[in-house]
Amino acid sequence: MIRFSTLSLLFVFAMSLVVAPAVFAAEEPVVVANVNGIKIFKADIEEARLRLPERFSGVPLEAVYGLLVNSLIDSKLVAAEARKINLDKDEVVRQQLQRIEEQVLERAFLTTYINKRITDKALAEQYEKMIKQVAKKEEVSARHILLETEAQAREVIKELKGGADFAELAKTRSKGPSGATGGDLGFFAEGQMVPAFSKAAFALKAGETTDEPVQTQFGWHVIKVEDRRTVQPPSLEKAEPDLRLALSREIGSQLLQELRKSATVERFNLDGTPMKEDDVAK
């Protein structure tokens, strides 16, 4: 079961800040339409584009420009009609507008607050922290021949010791899907394969083949390790998107903790009764 807290929702938004350009960034105001004296700017078009369904994410702005302009024009016209009959003063509408205003202010503040703190120095420090925490991993490149019985596996091992080519035997004898490519499994880390297979593969040196058949739920394997390598941590440049996400989480968490410490917050159940401390922590 997954529980979403205010903190986790803040993290979700904070992560979105580092992968999308800020909607609130200042730029030269370019007017794209004028509706009864009310201007529509290029920034409005770009912001509206972000709200389009995901299937439009790769579509060039020019392709949806006309659609967005017409949509904003219609919005201005209908909103003006609503004001003529004082809908903007309706209590329910005002409550909805207040909620929208708070959401916009929240996003604007978080965008500014987080982006100011994700500096080159902060990224470098986060990278050093990541390097220390991430241990160097070893990978092996292996081939295997999958057989139905132990006797068949021992027969294949005997043929290999007699000089048979592993890849060719895999093509003709293996029951696994990798048989067509000579049993090639490529590189994999320890634990990525089923336990018995992984243990046997990582016990071999490059060029070695198992002397005994290895049994798994799939059948009996004969394994050959082609190569071994140590996987180096990514460069700072390649790791930067993940570093930004991690920093956003930290910054968002610290901000929320500070705000809550200085605030008086009371919680109530759906029936209006005070919420117990034990329930608040859930």
**DSSP classification of residue 134:** S
E strands in 148-242: 184-189, 214-216, 219-231
What pLDDT, on a 0 to 100 scale, did the predictor assign at position 280? Answer: 62
Residues of the chain with CATH 3.10.50.40: 137-231
What pLDDT, on a 0 to 100 scale, did the predictor assign at position 177? Answer: 95
List of the chain residues with pLDDT < 70: 1-28, 135, 278-282
CA distance 42 to 33: 9
What pLDDT, on a 0 to 100 scale, did the predictor assign at position 279? Answer: 65
Whether this model's pTM surpasses 0.85: no
Q: Give CA angle at 228 (183, 177), nearest 5°.
A: 15
**Whose structure tokens read 């895999």?**
170
**Whose structure tokens read 């329930």?**
279
The tally of CA atoms less than 13 A away on the side-chain side of residue 194 is 10
CA distance 149 to 167: 20
What pLDDT, on a 0 to 100 scale, did the predictor assign at position 179? Answer: 95
CA distance 39 to 48: 15
Query: Do the beta carbons of residue 65 and residue 46 sit within 8 Å?
Result: no
C-alpha distances (whole Å) from 165 to each of 30, 39, 118, 157, 209 are 69, 75, 55, 11, 12
Q: Give CA angle at 22 (18, 27), nearest 5°.
A: 145
What pLDDT, on a 0 to 100 scale, did the predictor assign at position 11? Answer: 45
Per-residue model confidence as pLDDT tens digits over 196-242? 999 999 999 999 999 999 999 999 999 999 999 988 888 999 999 99
CA distance 198 to 163: 25
CA distance 41 to 39: 6
What pLDDT, on a 0 to 100 scale, did the predictor assign at position 56? Answer: 86
What pLDDT, on a 0 to 100 scale, did the predictor assign at position 27? Answer: 54
What pLDDT, on a 0 to 100 scale, did the predictor assign at position 282? Answer: 53
Please state which architecture CATH assigns to domain 137-231: Roll (3.10)
